[in-house]
Structure 1
Amino acid sequence: MIKNNLKIAWRNLTRNFSTSFINIVGLAMGIATCLLISLYVTDEFSFDRYNEHADRIVRVVFRGTVKGGTINEAHVMPPVASTMKSELPEVEETARLRIGGSPLFVVNNKVFHEEKMAFVDASFFKIFTLPFIKGNLSTAISSPNSAVISESTALKYFGTNDVVGRDLIIKDSPNILKITGVIKDVPQNSHFHFDVFTSLDALEDSRSDSWMTSEYYTYALLSKNASREKLEKNLATLFDKHVATQFMAGFGMSYQEYKKTGNKIGLYLQPLTDIHLYSNFNYDSALRGIYVTLIFLVLLHSLCY
């Protein structure tokens, strides 16, 4: 029976070869396109979900309206992280990140141009799931000149990942970074991509108590069952309290007078898993996805079935 059916199918194919060829190729291309769309959409929605506590991690952002204009920034003030941890019980841990520029490292008389360096708090590795291959997570960024590097960077610079204790010499600088840890490469579906992490303690500005400057990407790990809406209200109260004490010196008027003129500024929380697709912030270090494009692709994919 099967043999006869195969013979009949083959005769039909050879009798109408051009039509059959077009139909088969068209079907194959349609299936391949749908599979590619499915893989791409799945990947876009997977960003930052590799983190063990992804559903409890938020980024603190700065928003407001000033004289009809808008403030929409992805980074905030230096003391926000420590203040949130000490004054908001819903916050388990906080950490800051600041982009570190593009230093030239000298290793074994070879010069490497590093484009993916960041300054971070030691608690950064307690919030994000970045597994250590070498070194101790709890002490890796314990001093101003310590550094944690990715496995691919260790192999590129030294030819091995067994590099804890080795030096990274910064060209034309007296500073030398001591490698204290090696981590697996940051996953591709992460909103940040860095290969060298060094301590924020090396930056004097990181210890500033100013609520008038920013430049620090700030993350918080919330306690289980914490209400983000309630926390944002408490965060607004915290912000008003601390900004008010410095506002007069910075702007020549009280914070209350400033708000009475219709201006409004404050800190808000953005879920970690929203950063890639739903961000529209200035000074954002994240590579943004395009949500509207994904919706179009999802609709197109549905037509395949």
Structure 2
Amino acid sequence: MLKNYLRTALRNFAHNKAFSVINILGLAIGITSALVIFMIVWYEFGFDNFQKDGDRIHRVVIHAKFNGSEGYSVGLPAPLAMAMKNEVTGIEATVPVMYFQGDTKVPVQLVNTAGAETTIKKQSGVIFTNDDYFGLLGYKWLQGNVRVMDEAFTVVLTRSRALQYFGNIPLQNVVGKSITYNGDVTVTIGGVVEDLNQQTIFNASDFISYSTIAKTRFQDNFMMNVWNDWMSYSMLYVKLEKGNTVAKTELALQGLMKKYNKDANRDAANTMAFKLQPLSDIHFNRKYQAVEQRTGHKPTMYGLLAIGSFL
């Protein structure tokens, strides 16, 4: 019977070649389009799903109200990170992330393997952070270890960034080399980590030790001791200990607000509060705009799913 079906199909194809070709092409285009759509949707919904204990990772944000209008900010007062680390209990990791001011893409100067000085005019993914960053995200260390981040004027690179800067040389030969960022911050490479290689909002590749800030002009530029002002370049991530709750932590954060910024909530019409934004909410929440982070759009994804299902 199958042979008869095949013979009939071939006979119909021979008699209606143009019509058959159009049908086959239409079917192929429809299937291909549906597959592409489903891959796009799968990619967008896959952001940071791989993170271990992702349900305990949050970004600290500000929710403000001014004369009836609401505002949302990922930028925080720079001293909050240290205060939270020292004064708030139930926190497993406190991870400040700070970018260079202005254009976050900074010039990078280094000496390559041939001994020549190389300048990369605009490099993205350069941040100041601490040792907790690598534990928060589960990086694999290829050279060095997390303790190098305790030292000022130290930088850790991802494997791909080390390859970009120095070519295909043994990674142990990368450690110890110097890099100058923005023309005035010279640091020594203390380690190399494997790239995350999955969909993530954490896209930095150069990690300058947080303690470097206190020994450079960035101590003043980042307003490290100022509570009543902040910049979009200063962000903070935390990982809660097991058993701790968002409500308890937010209450403690409001205690810090009241302690260090007494003017913040004197007017009932103009208030601000520190909130914890779940990691799972970050990629699709467009209320909070962060530097060097792209947000997705859920309604668009659902629309694409509907189109793909129809195809």
Shorter-chain TM-score range: 0.7 to 0.9
Deviation at 1:223, TM superposition (A): 1.4
The answer as to 2:245 corresponding to 1:227 is yes
**In 2: Cα distance, 1:172 partner to 1:220 partner:** 31
Q: 1:223 to 1:151 in 2, by over 3 A?
A: same
Alignment deviations for residues 113-172 of structure 1 (CA, whole Å, 9 cap, x no partner): 1333111122211212222221112x1312111001111221122222331222224585
What secondary structure, in the 3-state scheme, does the structure 1 residue paired with 2:148 have?
coil
Alignment deviations for residues 29-74 of structure 1 (CA, whole Å, 9 cap, x no partner): 1111111111111110111223222221100011211234443211
Aligned Cα root-mean-square deviation (Å): 2.2
Letter in 2 for 1:104: V
The answer as to 2:217 corresponding to 1:208 is no
The answer as to 2:157 corresponding to 1:149 is yes
What secondary structure, in the 3-state scheme, does the structure 1 residue paired with 2:128 have?
strand
Q: Which moved more, 1:203-212 or 1:286-295?
A: 203-212
Q: 1:172 to 1:286 in 2, by over 3 A?
A: closer
Moved over 6 A (4+): none
2:301 matched residue in structure 1 = 294
| Mapping for residues 16-31 of structure 1, pairs under 5 Å | 16-31=16-31
1:279 matched residue in structure 2 = 286
CA contact (8 A) 2:55 2:280 kept: yes
Q: 1:172 to 1:84 in 2, by over 3 A?
A: closer
**In 2: Cα distance, 1:23 partner to 1:34 partner:** 16
The answer as to 2:21 corresponding to 1:10 is no
1:251 matched residue in structure 2 = none
2:48 matched residue in structure 1 = 48
Deviation at 1:207, TM superposition (A): 8.3
Match of 2:108 among 104, 107, 122: 104
Q: 1:171 to 1:98 in 2, by over 3 A?
A: closer
Deviation at 1:282, TM superposition (A): 4.3
| Mapping for residues 227-246 of structure 1, pairs under 5 Å | 227-244=245-262
CA contact (8 A) 2:110 2:178 kept: no
CA contact (8 A) 1:279 1:288 kept: yes
Match of 1:128 among 125, 137, 140: 137
Alignment deviations for residues 187-219 of structure 1 (CA, whole Å, 9 cap, x no partner): 351213222110121223368332112232100
The normalised TM-score by structure 2 is 0.85
Q: 1:89 to 1:146 in 2, by over 3 A?
A: same
CA contact (8 A) 2:157 2:206 kept: yes
1:250 matched residue in structure 2 = none
Q: 1:150 to 1:105 in 2, by over 3 A?
A: same
**In 1: Cα distance, 2:52 partner to 2:95 partner:** 16
CA contact (8 A) 2:154 2:212 kept: no
Q: Percent identity over the alignment?
A: 29
What secondary structure, in the 3-state scheme, does the structure 1 residue paired with 2:295 have?
coil
Q: Which moved more, 1:104-113 or 1:264-273?
A: 104-113
Number of aligned residue pairs: give it. 291
CA contact (8 A) 1:148 1:198 kept: yes
**In 1: Cα distance, 2:183 partner to 2:304 partner:** 49
**In 1: Cα distance, 2:84 partner to 2:110 partner:** 39
2:88 matched residue in structure 1 = 88
The answer as to 2:274 corresponding to 1:267 is yes
1:252 matched residue in structure 2 = none
Letter in 1 for 2:310: L
1:158 matched residue in structure 2 = 166
Deviation at 1:82, TM superposition (A): 2.6
Unaligned runs of 5+ in 2: none
